[in-house]
Structure 1
Amino acid sequence: MNPDFDALIQSEIPIVVDFRKTDCEPCSLLDPVLEQVKHTLEKRIEVVRVDADANPELAHQYRISYFPSLLLFQEGRLLWRQTGLMGKDEIIARILEHIS
């Protein structure tokens, strides 16, 4: 358990967690997409990146084995998860399906 992460995902503001690896090219390709998502949704979400190499226990806890993996949390609940590259519009649509 990671107390900082656990406190973070308790937020009322939805948190998109990007589990990634440093040497993962698709992870790097997702960076500008997530910036566009964050900019489009403004203050409705937060985006947090987690380096799975530096946080292996956390990656294991959430059964992350493919990268990048996106998880959406709100008030401690896992609302959605997706593995692999996605476009901005698809990510936004999935987030909006799960938040009010």
Structure 2
Amino acid sequence: MSKFGELIDVEIPVLLDFYTENNEQTEAMHLVLRDVAAALGDKAKVIKIDVDKNQELAEALRVKSSPTLIIYKDGQMKWRQSGEQDANTLINLLQDFK
């Protein structure tokens, strides 16, 4: 878990996407997240986390559905939502936390 702390304890916003494989929503969100990452460049980080490979972390954060999106800044959770989001919404949210 200390690795997780290093990921989220940074000055720029970090968007975490908790996903599961073989899920239609996952494929759609990966395309959206690619666009978000491209639009924001080094102003934010976008990290995809496979729930099946990171069960301990998913349980600790009470991730119950996929996708679950969480934004952290300076180690603090700032926003959380389950379900799909569009690129513009995510970009605006991340810009609000810069």
- Is TM > 0.5 for Structure 1 vs Structure 2? yes
Aligned match of 1:50: 49
TM-score, length basis structure 1 = 0.91
Supply the distance in 2 between the matched residues of 1:16 and 1:8 (Cα, whole angstroms): 10
Percentage of pairs with the same residue? 30
TM-score, length basis structure 2 = 0.93
1:1-100 matches, within 5 Å, as: 2-97=1-96, 99-100=97-98
1:81 alignment partner, SS class: strand
| Runs of 4+, deviation exceeding 3 Å | none
**CA RMSD in angstroms, aligned pairs only:** 1.1
Residue 89 of structure 1 and its aligned partner are, at CA, apart by: 0.9
Task: Extract unaligned runs of 5+ from structure 1.
Answer: none
Task: Extract unaligned runs of 5+ from structure 2.
Answer: none
Supply the distance in 2 between the matched residues of 1:82 and 1:96 (Cα, whole angstroms): 17
- Aligned pairs, how many? 98
Residue 15 of structure 1 and its aligned partner are, at CA, apart by: 0.8
1:45-97 CA distance string (max 9 Å, x none): 01111111011110011110011011101111001011111111111122223
1:10-51 CA distance string (max 9 Å, x none): 111211110001122201111111111111111110111111
1:53 alignment partner, SS class: helix
